[in-house]
Amino acid sequence: MPSASASTIVFEQPCPIRDVLDRIGDQWSLLVLEALAQRTKRFNELHREIGDVSRQMLSRTLKRLEEDGFVSRTVYAEVPPRVEYALTDLGRSFLGPMQQLVEWADANHWAICQARLQARAKQRN
Amino acid sequence: MPSASASTIVFEQPCPIRDVLDRIGDQWSLLVLEALAQRTKRFNELHREIGDVSRQMLSRTLKRLEEDGFVSRTVYAEVPPRVEYALTDLGRSFLGPMQQLVEWADANHWAICQARLQARAKQRN
DNA sequence: CAGTATCCGATGCGATACTG
DNA sequence: CAGTATCGCATCGGATACTG
């Protein structure tokens, strides 16, 4: 358990869900987690697989996921360099709730689109 | 002002999960949905209950939730005006996955904070 | 009571170019 | 191969003031 002084820093987030949303609410984190759910992967492997993401954003995303303990980064002292990314236990434990979310999104995507169309139609009147 | 091609955007979403994350990934939507999960509420009621949110952002958040079909808005022709917000069927169907996410966040908030502290400690070395 | 208008700083993200 | 540096635009979100 954290000490009293540490806890004042650690718990400055008033709402736990913010930690999670700040991490997965961005453009790429979820796609990265999904890609790593299968197995450990390398940087350019992820880059090819996700496709749309720039190296810049993939790098930032991985760094934040690593900082927050979702992903581990292992560097092998080789030439050319090899870096492997994998889910941590924390990251794997997140796959469950995440999958629920993804399934809901798949099932209700069209309903959301319909609602948007109706809202826009109403606005034009 | 919306651009001329705005309506085309609706169908340009390649990935369903983006619709969901764009909606709940923001600062306030989830809190609003939680507040409305109990029962229908009025604008200032939500404002008082959520507390930190400005009228500005509460208004925007509710509008987006309404546009995406999560929330319904009913205006009663009275003086003073009364406006009630409620979850739609779509909004209610989202409570399940959302609760999963919130529970995971509660359970793992501490682990995330720990990971952040360790990452920061590593950076200082 | 239930909002909207305006301004402004912080952050997100892409494009491009460069590096060990 | 695996990144980082820099630039620039768009969006997010708070503060404040105003409105029907």
d(CA A29, CA A32): 5
Provide the 8-state DSSP code for B39: S
Sign of the torsion angle spanned by Cα atoms B66, B72, B73, B77: positive
The predicted pLDDT at position B13 comes to: 60
pLDDT band at A18 (very low <50, low <70, confident <90, very high): confident
Which nt has its C1' nearest the CA of A57?
A: C13
Per-residue pLDDT, averaged over A54-66, amounts to 96
Provide the 8-state DSSP code for A12: T
Q: Check whether B63 has a pLDDT greater than 50.
A: yes
**Least Cα separation, residue B101 to chain A (angstroms):** 5
pTM above 0.75, yes or no: yes
- Exposure of A18 by Cβ count < 10 A (0-12 exposed, 13-18 middle, 19+ buried)? middle
Beta-bridged to residue B83, according to DSSP, are B75
pLDDT band at B2 (very low <50, low <70, confident <90, very high): very low
Domains and CATH numbers, chain A: 16-124 (1.10.10.10)
d(CA B78, CA B75): 9
Positions on chain C within 7 A of a protein C-beta? 1-6, 12-17, 20
Q: Which two tokens stand for residue B113?
A: 């904070």
Q: Write b or e for each residue in A75-108: b if 16 or more Cβ atoms lie within 10 A of its Cβ, otherwise e.
A: eeeeeeeeeebebbebbebbeebbebbbebbeeb
Closest CB from B94, B101, B116 relative to A20: B101
pLDDT digits (tens, 9 = 90+) for B89-121: 999 999 999 999 999 999 999 999 999 988 888
Sign of the torsion angle spanned by Cα atoms B103, B30, A53, B120: negative
Residues in chain B within 8 Å Cβ distance of A93? 104, 108
What does the DSSP assignment read for A54-97? -HHHHHHHHHHHHHTTSEEEEEE--SS-EEEEEE-HHHHHHHHH
The answer to whether A104 touches B19, Cβ cutoff 8 Å, is no
Closest CB from A9, A23, A115 relative to B69: A115
The predicted pLDDT at position A4 comes to: 34
Q: Which two tokens stand for residue A116?
A: 């948007």
